[in-house]
Amino acid sequence: MPSLFLELDQMLDEFTPLPIRAEFRFHPDMPAVITVEFLAERGPSLIWRIGRELLHRGLTSMSGCGDVRMWPALPRQRPSSWLLLESQEAETLFEVPVAPLAEWLDATYRITSAETEMDSLNWDDFLVELLDGPGAPPE
């Protein structure tokens, strides 16, 4: 399945958006997790792994807790949701366009349904991937 590239707005403060490009990747061998790479113009990109269900629910209602939360924005020119990512070092809020993400997520559910996404999961590989994170050297 091809990646989805979206133009997001990173909110520097209440009134200052900074456009940033993000790549959303789906892997059928790990369907419950979407890899999101925020592609910075300067400097290294940032990778987050976010639950597919969290993203899907966040398009229409409050979703997530802790480090990753997503909820619909108030009506605007284009339907969007807020994606809040928190770590020990920083907290970042992104405005995400709903329509292209919803369409792409629907396509991922046609490949692997929510009901079967854990059936073929290789738990050992999943935990290594999750715990090693984006800085781990490729095998």
pLDDT tens readout for residues 5-62 = 999 999 999 899 999 999 999 998 889 899 999 998 887 889 999 999 999 999 999 9
Q: Say which residue the tokens 């919803």 belong to.
A: 102
CATH 3.40.50.300 is held by the domain 4-115: no
Element (H, E) at 99: helix 98-111
Domain locations along the chain: 4-115
Structure confidence at residue 128 as a pLDDT band (50, 70, 90): confident
Q: What is the pTM of this model?
A: 0.81
Task: Evaluate if residue 127 carries a pLDDT over 90.
Answer: no
Angstrom distance (rounded) from CA 31 to CA 117: 6
**CB contact at 8 A, 32 and 112:** no
